[in-house]
Amino acid sequence: MDIELDIRKLIRNNNLRNSKMKKMILLILMVTFSAGSVFSATGEVLETTQAVWQIADTTTSAGDEPTALSETERTKKLVDAAIAAATSGDGEISLFQIPPKWNAIRFRGIGITDGETVTHQIYLGTLGTGADCELSYAGQLAWTLGTQQTIYDQITFTDGGTYVPQVGDTVKGITSGKTAVIVAISDLSSGTWAAGTAAGTITYRSANGTFGDSETISILRGNSVETPDAYTHAASDLIDFEFADTLAITAKTGIWVTAVSPADNTNAEAEIDIKGADYMVIVTSTSTVDSKLLIKGF
């Protein structure tokens, strides 16, 4: 009888210890989670997306510029149809899929001549996994170009080969040996790549030196396969893009965070809270010179 009592008492003690142990483990986990939450709330472990500047729109001064979208044109499918028809400059409308980690966007404007003007109309929508979405007019960015040079350069080309240059390709002058990285290719002014007759303009970032007049260019693709005789530069000088130093915003209330037009002739820029949008349409309604819209997400 005494042995049975001792066994029962031992079982009860073990159950008590197990219960206390479980409570202690739970308490430790709660304290750890709480500390982690406080640590996060201080901002010390939060991170901002470190995106690079990229070109969202490229516009040439030649030909007609598209007009702002009317209320009856503000869906993705209607904009796609307008771009395909390419009437009245609509072929220059730009579409941009906003990366999912972006909560806001910074804008900068660049162009090839000091004192010229560029105006962008910005529209936002939420496409998700669908094929169409409504577009809300976010506002107008009116830039005036300044004198500060950028690291972007433009040059005309002719005799494009059958390989279509891609953004990120490294180019090399066969004669000069100078190099550059492609960041944008405008619509062709004439010819086709397939026929080896493509002609237009191309934009480089951080070009290394001066290419020769009528110099043939080779391309080093991402897989390190070199494509010789890719096209021919039509001139020896790269045209430098310059930053806009003045910006005026006509904004939809509640989404534009700030606009800066520095007094020291440096880079004007704007910020927009995209409020969950994942699709942007850019209509360059005025561009008195070749220009580009730079964007950076955060």
Highest mean pLDDT: which range of 28-32, 36-40, 43-47, 178-182: 178-182
State the pLDDT at residue 163.
85
How is the chain split into domains, by residue range? 1-46, 51-298
pTM, two decimals, is: 0.80
Q: 201-234: per-residue pLDDT in tens?
A: 999 998 887 888 899 999 987 666 788 889 999 9
State the pLDDT at residue 206.
84
- Those residues whose C-beta lies under 8 Å from the C-beta of residue 187, and which sit 6 or more positions away, are 60, 91, 92, 200
State the pLDDT at residue 268.
97
State the pLDDT at residue 35.
45
Q: What percent of the chain has pLDDT over 90?
A: 61
Top-confidence residue, 164 or 46:
164
CA distance 201 to 186: 6
Top-confidence residue, 184 or 2:
184
Name residue, tokens 């350069």. 153
Q: CA of 217: how far to CAs of 167, 181, 184, 272, 281, in Å?
A: 15, 12, 16, 39, 33
